[in-house]
């Protein structure tokens, strides 16, 4: 162990005190200067100018990167300063000018502010049977709808109000009204409701656009009530056109595909173009989870335009039909009757003195049994209607979906192995099938 003399110990003690004092002086002096500057704000012009010059010189080395603020114009940055220094730095900066909205943002804001009051929330009440076999009301589904007439007519999806005992329509202002189902079209999943608006109340109407002029990539907006979050706006593009989608037992043709977020509760709400015109009725989504994954479908507004008047006037859509009993070809029938084609609709019987029979459509003559059914073979086989291929009964429904009783269609048939075209007037589908 090393031994020190008394003089050496005194020297080391003095040296340690000096070092400690210098350290304390180095820490306390900047704090004192900062306190005097922040508390009094006094100082000579030369000192202030020197400090500002120093701050300007040191600032670039203190910046850490751009501040991602969409509301502040220019390329602002965040200094790597403590809270108090950062607060003081902000106080010394000139006010930043807010960046104006982009053209796209202004369009979105304008459409929402103009039209969101025209979108209603639809809730339903259904009837159930309790343990005592008594009917009791219970909450049904919910969805959205568009006001299409100032008299209180609302366009929505048929599945939103299917099996409803009561329908309630809630406006943007929060007022709730009893709704009446005016008409339904299950084949296009559309329905028209009506409520009685208060006197002297002007309703916001969603205007119809034109879905035939749509292009893939076109901007679209959806307003609805997803998950009961009222009047939600989502934005996307047209992702596809002409999609045939199965809805229940029916195939809805020419559906619009969009990536605008559509979720449960959006059904029946409007799909709008960038002018605020309805170009579709949001109907369904493709989702393995039940939430939106960017694949939604809307009924084209031109389909709705075609059926709305009939729904209001008749409560249903009157469609044309070929008044004959037809059988979709299947392998056993093709083999047994030695038919020349394996796809199409065999005309088994025509209605006596009906429109199809008078037009020259030929029925079968030889009866064969298939299970409990009797089929007459030897007649015409329908393969096309107005140029559209007919392979199944579903194809025939689709080809005649937009037709009306009395319309004349060109029916392509195979007769005795030859292709023949016949012009056939259409009967009323309900009268033929009932």
Tens of pLDDT along 105-154? 899 999 999 999 999 999 999 888 878 777 777 787 889 999 999 999 99
From the list 69, 170, 174, 72, the residue with the least C-alpha distance to 124 is 170
Same domain for 371 and 271: no
Report residue 46's pLDDT band, with 50, 70 and 90 as the boundaries: very low
Q: State the average pLDDT over residues 340-353.
A: 93
- Is residue 198 in a domain? no
> Domain containing 267: what range?
211-304
Same domain for 417 and 339: yes
Same domain for 423 and 324: yes
Q: Which of 159, 211, 273, 348 is catalytic?
A: 159
Same domain for 335 and 284: no
**pLDDT score for 373:** 86
- Is residue 148 in a domain? no
How far the first Cα of the chain sits from its last, in Å, is 118
Most confident residue range from 125-129, 255-259, 283-287: 255-259
Same domain for 351 and 290: no
- Is residue 405 in a domain? yes
- CATH number for 268: 2.40.10.10
Same domain for 331 and 300: no
Q: Which long-range contacts (CB under 8 A, 24 or more apart) does 90-96 make?
A: 96/72
Strand 232-247 versus strand 320-321 pairing type: unpaired
**pLDDT score for 60:** 45
Q: Is 149 a catalytic residue?
A: no
- Is residue 135 in a domain? no
Burial class of residue 160 in the structure, from the number of CB atoms within 10 Å of its CB (0-12 exposed, 13-18 middle, 19+ buried): buried
**pLDDT score for 141:** 83
Q: Which of 211, 261, 267, 292 is catalytic?
A: 267
- Is residue 190 in a domain? no
Q: Is 189 a catalytic residue?
A: yes
Same domain for 346 and 281: no
Lowest mean pLDDT among 20-24, 185-189, 359-363: 20-24
Q: Which of 142, 146, 185, 189 is catalytic?
A: 189
- Is residue 137 in a domain? no
Same domain for 328 and 299: no
Task: Identify the domain boundary among 280, 304, 328.
Answer: 304
pTM of the model: 0.70
Query: In angstroms, rounded to a whole number, what is the distance separating the alpha carbons of residues 177 and 173?
Result: 12
Query: In angstroms, rounded to a whole number, what is the distance separating the alpha carbons of residues 411 and 323?
Result: 13
- CATH number for 369: 2.30.42.10
Same domain for 281 and 250: yes
Same domain for 333 and 295: no
Q: Is 380 a catalytic residue?
A: no
Query: In angstroms, rounded to a whole number, what is the distance separating the alpha carbons of residues 54 and 308?
Result: 74
Lowest mean pLDDT among 61-65, 360-364, 365-369, 430-434: 61-65
Same domain for 361 and 291: no
- Is residue 84 in a domain? yes
Task: Identify the domain boundary among 70, 91, 112.
Answer: 91
Q: Count structural domains, the chain.
A: 3
Task: Identify the domain boundary among 68, 91, 114.
Answer: 91
From the list 328, 352, 360, 350, the residue with the least C-alpha distance to 424 is 360
- Is residue 249 in a domain? yes
Same domain for 334 and 393: yes
**pLDDT score for 183:** 95
Task: Go through 254-289 and write b for each residue having 16 or more CB atoms within 10 A of its CB, e for each that does not.
Answer: bbbbbbbbbbbbbbbbbbbbeebbbbbbbbbbeeee
**pLDDT score for 322:** 95
For the cut 90, the answer to whether the pLDDT of residue 33 exceeds it is no
For the cut 60, the answer to whether the pLDDT of residue 89 exceeds it is no
For the cut 70, the answer to whether the pLDDT of residue 27 exceeds it is no
């Amino acid at each position: 162990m090393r031994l020190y003399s008394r003089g050496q110990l005194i020297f080391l003690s003095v040296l340690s005190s000096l070092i400690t004092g210098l350290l304390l002086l180095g820490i306390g002096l900047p704090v004192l200067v900062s306190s005097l500057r922040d508390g009094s704000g006094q100082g000579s012009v030369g000192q202030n100018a020197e400090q500002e010059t120093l701050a300007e010189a040191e600032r670039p080395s203190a910046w850490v990167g751009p501040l991602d603020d969409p509301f502040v114009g220019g390329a602002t940055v965040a200094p790597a300063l403590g809270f108090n220094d950062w607060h003081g730095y902000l106080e010394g900066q000139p006010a930043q000018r807010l960046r104006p909205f982009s053209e796209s943002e202004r369009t979105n804001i304008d459409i929402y502010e103009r039209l969101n009051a025209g979108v209603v929330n639809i809730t339903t009440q259904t009837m159930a049977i309790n343990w005592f076999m008594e009917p009791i009301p219970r909450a049904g589904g919910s969805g959205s709808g568009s006001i299409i007439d100032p008299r209180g007519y609302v366009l929505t999806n048929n599945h939103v109000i299917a099996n409803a005992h009561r329908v309630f329509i809630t406006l943007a202002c929060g007022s709730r009204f009893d709704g009446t189902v005016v008409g339904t079209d299950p084949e296009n999943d559309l329905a028209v409701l009506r409520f009685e608006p208060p006197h002297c109340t002007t309703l916001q109407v969603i205007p119809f656009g034109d879905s035939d002029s749509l292009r893939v990539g076109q901007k679209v907006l959806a307003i609805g009530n997803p998950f009961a979050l009222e009047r939600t706006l989502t934005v996307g593009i047209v992702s596809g056109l002409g999609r045939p989608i199965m809805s229940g037992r029916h195939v809805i043709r020419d559906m619009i595909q969009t990536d605008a977020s559509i979720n449960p509760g959006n059904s029946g709400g409007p799909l709008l173009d960038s002018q605020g015109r309805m170009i579709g009725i949001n109907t369904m989504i493709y989702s393995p989870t039940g939430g939106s994954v960017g694949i939604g479908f809307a009924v084209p507004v031109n389909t709705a335009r075609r059926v709305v008047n009939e729904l209001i006037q008749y409560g249903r859509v009157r469609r044309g039909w070929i008044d004959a009993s037809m059988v979709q070809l299947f392998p056993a029938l093709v083999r047994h009757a030695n038919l020349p084609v394996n796809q199409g609709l065999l005309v088994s019987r025509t209605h006596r003195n009906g429109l199809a029979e008078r037009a020259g459509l030929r029925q079968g003559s030889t009866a064969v049994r298939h299970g409990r059914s009797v089929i007459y073979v030897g007649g015409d086989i329908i393969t096309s209607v107005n140029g559209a291929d007919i392979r199944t009964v579903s194809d025939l429904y689709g080809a005649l979906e937009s037709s009306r009783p009395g319309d004349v269609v060109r029916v392509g048939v195979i007769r005795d192995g030859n292709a023949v075209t016949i012009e056939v007037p259409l009967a009323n589908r309900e009268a033929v099938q009932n």
